Structure 1
């Protein structure tokens, strides 16, 4: 027993919140081990004593009491359980380590409305940092015996929990096996964020398209489970990671089905139109002003030329400067506290925009184009998808400044070819996945 205590103590002795407390259960000396920062020891001991007193009334032995309190584990598993916030009960006269669930300190936030995704019609619950709570939110919405979950502990020195969810009757078994195989093959690697998880699953870190469809809405995760996808939950990450990700996910929400079919189709077409505006409009401005003005009607060409009167640099430099300024405003608005963010948006969007126009640094038409582009970008579903489109529009602007309208067409072809080349677990990114119910109801 001294060897077991010494081994566990050596692992955590330098942590001031680690405790080893000697006590007695049914007059048998035991040791309690755990972290004060994770365990409410006073309430835990009260609960344990209450359970033991109830067990004594049934004339059970100490061994029966310990079996009811928890599960016996070896030293390595016991040490890992301590890191997870469990309480270890070690018998002084034996070499048993019993792992029991204590009364935890209130460290996890409750289930709250989503903060990064707005819901018009649907549940207002969102995922939290606690993995078990996220699994519970999904199970509450899928009352099916076919829902399967598999958990992994990844990382060698920094342990992290990872859970995989799928519907056995809807999901391709080969997809599930491939995901499990890759996770198990990289189980020793530390997975602390989305990029490290992507590497563990064999994805490149340099792709501009995210390999995961990320959502904090339980109803969206359930929607994709029913469509045959797999869902990953990473402990302390308040969102679900959907695999594989497809292009159509950028334009489809599960809550769309709460609208009449014509309205649902109109909303999805509007999102597609918004993505195309974001990609084409800035480059089209450069192409028509600097390379191919002959395409415009004479009245429109003269109007644009008049709006650019006094602007000291080419259209390409003009739009690149304003796009970068706009990116800085968006990033500042996202990072600053909510009490300051709207002020920065107002200063950057109204005061700065008006000032640069009056100073003849940019044209009035460019301000209109940038405003329309920013609004159109926000129609795409998922912040990670928004970043991808924002990056692609710069490539379109560069091509348009060199080749004009032909450059825009070439850019669209190149982007389409790149998207067509992306595969996730042998499933093309452009694959259109539909079920019989979707075919019947849109």
Structure 2
């Protein structure tokens, strides 16, 4: 349990700093897009790059390589987090999971309904206000420091995991291009091989990752968004280690004793000591949980490379508000969905569910703090931008929606911070 709490603390710390970096990358993108470098900025991301593997050639713009390729690694990490939380974390029991699950469902349904009610003729952008940028939200909490209730952070993390799962389902089922069914069999065979590794209790990560690349290629060829390959791979990564903790302790103690027994006067290690160290290293690899190991390896790269790069390449928008007026209902659906829909859904669903005795609110979390989390959930930012790129093709519409996302995320963040500070004052009095 202590180890899991440390993992949560590390997650919050990494995501918090990532949120600050995301803000800097976004600000830089907007400044560059509206400067003399604007033409070069957009030309860079539209530059075509191709890769040929056997008979398969994949050619996409640099932006698409980031959105389809690097973001697949981000979704791999998201999938690992979801699996870990479902098996051993905040979502591992009905008692612990029910409250954040209900909150997340409300926080997805109400924003989507608000959007659809304003865009009945063309509702395909409904997924945009459903998304929450956990890195940005936790970045704000970090800046507030000890004024934030620790239970609020845990609730936000658990809610975000369910929210991410909802985003994965929406991307997989709604935002797909033309389906090429002939590649389903290829993808199924590769995914079957990945699960065969799991069933055979293979804990070495390299075979999973190599097959994961093949899975990404075939998922992309089908027409389903290629980032889903990352989530599918994550669900197949084993969580159990090859050597249990007690066996590791026993074998390591024996190796240390062997190392100590063979100490001599020569100032270099002898072959007995080298063998003892190699035994420790061998068991060190075997005792690690493959899922946790891969998640740890991906987390820093995702938080400090993938997401800032995604923000810098996708957040650049020319601040022309005429595009907003031309797409007013779409933008209004996104803005109201994030600013009003998120808090209404998160607070409303949990409040009704508790009244109906379906869930129980954590004792260390106040309703005022749940409303605050609802507004922080309205910080859609990078995830909303990601879904915008999938939902629309028209660049004017995309630019208008991005402006709406920026405005809504800023307003939702300000209100969320104000409510958290108000709740803090209430707690300390």
Identify the TM-score tier after normalising by the shorter chain: under 0.3
Task: Please say which structure displays the higher CA radius of gyration.
Answer: 1
Q: Given the two structures, how large is their TM-score scaled by the length of structure 2?
A: 0.22
Higher relative contact order by CA 8 Å / sep ≥ 6: 1 or 2? 2
Q: Give 1 or 2: higher helix fraction.
A: 2
More strand by share: 1
